[in-house]
């Protein structure tokens, strides 16, 4: 139990970084899956709300922008986990990760994307992307809870 209390943050950090980093190839190379999600599902939905191009290449929420935020969060998380003197960096990475993944969960739940992503060929991911996103959300929230004394002090509560 003592080992888990001392090192459990590593398990959470590695899970988050793994999910974020493994998705970078898809987001940065314009893979068909990513193009389908961002340009085939999310951007047409945003256009119906009067925000065309929001998820298209060059858009505020394009795959490359989201991927860049995931990469930055991963770097901050890993750097903060590696040294007790940099735990505040882990807090920043957790908060950024929580923000990014909250957006992903929102778009899965409240847009035509859906929980189980149906690809152009008719196949389904069976909710795998959504499940990974939920795991990342829980892990980021847990890290923020573990590091609560740091951010409470930043907010002036200590």
Mean pLDDT of 85-89: 92
Q: What is the distance of C-alpha 121 from the center of its chain?
A: 26
CB count in 10 Å sphere of residue 149: 12
Residue 6: what pLDDT? 78
Mean pLDDT score across all residues of the chain: 94
Bridge-partner residues for 124, per DSSP? 118
What are phi and psi for residue 124, nearest 5 degrees? -120, 150
Q: What residues have CB less than 8 Å from 114, skipping those under 6 apart?
A: 108
pTM of the prediction?
Answer: 0.93
Mean pLDDT of 80-108: 95
Residue 1: what pLDDT? 65
Band of pLDDT at residue 4, cut at 50, 70 and 90: low
Mean pLDDT of 47-64: 97
Whether pLDDT at 68 is above 80: yes
Band of pLDDT at residue 118, cut at 50, 70 and 90: confident
Three-state DSSP class for 142? helix
Whether pLDDT at 22 is above 80: yes
Residue 84: what pLDDT? 83
30 φ/ψ sector (left φ>0, alpha ψ -120 to 50, else beta): left
Band of pLDDT at residue 83, cut at 50, 70 and 90: confident
Whether pLDDT at 158 is above 80: no
């Amino acid at each position: 139990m003592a080992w888990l209390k001392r090192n459990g943050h590593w398990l959470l950090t590695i899970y988050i970084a793994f999910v974020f980093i493994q998705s970078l190839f898809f987001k940065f190379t314009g893979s068909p899956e990513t193009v389908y999600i961002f340009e085939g599902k999310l951007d047409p939905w945003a256009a119906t709300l009067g925000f065309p191009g929001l998820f298209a290449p060059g858009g505020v929420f394009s795959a490359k922008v989201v991927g860049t935020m995931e990469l930055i969060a991963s770097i901050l998380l890993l750097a903060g986990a590696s040294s007790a003197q940099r735990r505040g960096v882990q807090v920043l990475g957790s908060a950024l990760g929580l923000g990014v993944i909250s957006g992903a969960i929102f778009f899965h739940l409240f847009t035509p994307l859906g929980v189980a992503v149906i690809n152009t060929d008719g196949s389904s991911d069976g909710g795998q992307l959504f499940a990974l996103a939920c795991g990342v959300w829980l892990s980021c929230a847990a890290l923020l809870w573990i590091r609560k004394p740091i951010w409470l002090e930043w907010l002036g509560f200590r």
